[in-house]
Amino acid sequence: MSSVGGGPEGVGPYTFDFFAGSGTNLKEIGGFYEKSEGSTLFTKWELKASCYGKFAFFVGEGQNRFQKGRVKALRNDWIAKKLVELGQDLFQAPKKFMETTKVPEADALLNDIENYPHFFVLACVMDRQLRAERAWLIPYKISLKIGSTSFNAFSQLSQEEIRDHMSRPESLHRFVEIMSKYFFLGMGIGRIRDQYQGDASKIWAGKPSSAELVYRFLEFEGVGPKIATMAANILARDYKVPLSDYFSIDISADVHIRRVFARLGICPEDASVEQVIFKARSLYPEFPGLMDLPCWEIGR
């Protein structure tokens, strides 16, 4: 079979039941079968970008045909492998400036975890039931209201003052009452001040194990496994914080991840959060969360 960009006009018809990377040989993966219910029909050699972004598929004539059941098994193994490869590419890439909020001043503070680590940890706990772009802006917006980015200035605030800053003139979060409490006591100010001497970077200092890092985040009030593993994953993958291992960084099984796992046939559509997490562990035990960002980008 020729590579992408060439090939016969072909008679077909051929169908696909998988998502393949550019340049992949269909015969190698056994990735298509004759037309069946719910499949898409092609009558000539075509290359198309799939609706999932970083994948493409192509079909041609004269290839071996496989039974649907076997194709699906091969497809799942191949897709899992590609998700891991995409995750590894992102993990091994050089550190780059993360545009989380699309507000340059806010993103500069969030990226500077050496000098302003409290912006990162305070943003993490705000990232619940709210679009990430808005949630991660909250520490920056409060810093504008108090006229300082220093942790010392944050530590002088009372819970009442934080609630007032989060609610006026407009609400910074859907749940101001509970989130202002977590900002003050939980992921935030109180514990950073008392346990980490005002330096939030001590949470990930010293090349801890992934389990220890996740545990340190879980110690904060209002932080569950999803936020804790998300924070650990961002630190390791995006900010290149060194850890001694990555076993305990799970995939964040939110609605996007579950949808992608279902669409790619890795898990059933009604799979629970726990099923998705353990499936990711089974696919890549060394770093289950490695597949998080590729899946999130596919599902957004």
More confident residue, 179 or 5: 179
Where residue 289 falls among pLDDT bands split at 50, 70, 90? very high
d(CA 75, CA 280): 16
Is it the case that residue 277 has pLDDT exceeding 70? yes
Return all residues near 263 (Cβ < 8 A) that are at least 6 apart. Answer: 52
55-75 pLDDT per residue, tens:
333 333 333 333 333 444 445
d(CA 264, CA 79): 7
Average pLDDT, stretch 202-226?
A: 94
More confident residue, 293 or 206: 206
178-210 pLDDT per residue, tens:
899 888 865 578 889 999 999 999 999 999 999
Residue 133: name the closest of 163, 100, 103 by CA: 100
At 185 the pLDDT is 64
Is it the case that residue 13 has pLDDT exceeding 50? no
At 233 the pLDDT is 96
At 272 the pLDDT is 94
What the chain holds in terms of domains, given with CATH numbers, is 1-66 (no CATH), 104-237 (1.10.340.30)
86-144 pLDDT per residue, tens:
889 889 999 999 999 999 999 999 999 999 999 999 999 898 888 889 999 999 999 99
Burial 282-297, CB ≥16 within 10 A → b, else e:
ebbeebbbbbbbbbee
At 76 the pLDDT is 64
* Residue 261 CB coordination number (10 Å): 27
Where residue 24 falls among pLDDT bands split at 50, 70, 90? very low
Is it the case that residue 9 has pLDDT exceeding 60? no
More confident residue, 284 or 47: 284
At 21 the pLDDT is 35
Is it the case that residue 146 has pLDDT exceeding 70? yes
Average pLDDT, stretch 38-44?
A: 33
Where residue 300 falls among pLDDT bands split at 50, 70, 90? low
Q: Give the percent of the chain with pLDDT over 90.
A: 49
The amino acid occupying position 80 is: A
